[in-house]
Amino acid sequence: MEEAKTVETQKTGVLFSPEGAIMLGAAGFLDLLGLVDSIPGIGQMLSYIPDFLGIFIIGGWTLYRSQTMKTTHRATQRLGKAAKMGRRLKWLRPLLILGEFVPIAGIAPLWLLVVYLELKS
């Protein structure tokens, strides 16, 4: 019972860790900059600036985090459900990043979703 509590605490604690706070803040800032897309005319051209910044910042961070780690068999068993869910949602991250380049969909907080899914995996 105590092991289950520590796993849950570790899952929610990642969102409030320094890494999580910095990346969620950066993603929120990029999403706010993406609201430039709602300006008629020039907004669509200017919205590509935060999109490319997001690819470099958040894309590089997710690539860095996706490096493989060696774990023990027992740790793998405990985190098996989370790993399965992460594998199922792995295809969603590239779609969210591509969604930032769609003119109207760029207004949605897709960078926040990418960071949230990466932190939860």
pLDDT, tens digit (0-9, with 9 covering 90-100), for 97-107 = 777 777 777 77
91-114 average pLDDT score: 77
**Cα–Cα nearest to 117, from 47, 72, 61, 75:** 61
Q: Determine, yes or no, domain membership for 105.
A: yes
Going by pLDDT thresholds of 50, 70 and 90, the confidence category of residue 70 is low
Q: Are 57 and 26 in contact (CB under 8 A)?
A: yes
For residue 27, give Cα distances in angstroms to 40, 82, 110: 24, 23, 8
Q: Determine, yes or no, domain membership for 45.
A: yes
Q: Are 97 and 91 in contact (CB under 8 A)?
A: no
Domain count, the chain: 1
Q: Determine, yes or no, domain membership for 94.
A: yes
Q: Is the pTM of this model over 0.85?
A: no
Q: Determine, yes or no, domain membership for 9.
A: no
pLDDT for the residue 29: 92
Q: Determine, yes or no, domain membership for 70.
A: yes
Q: Determine, yes or no, domain membership for 100.
A: yes
Q: Determine, yes or no, domain membership for 1.
A: no
> What range defines the domain where residue 73 resides?
14-120
The span from the CA of 66 to the CA of 58, in Å, is 12
Q: Determine, yes or no, domain membership for 8.
A: no
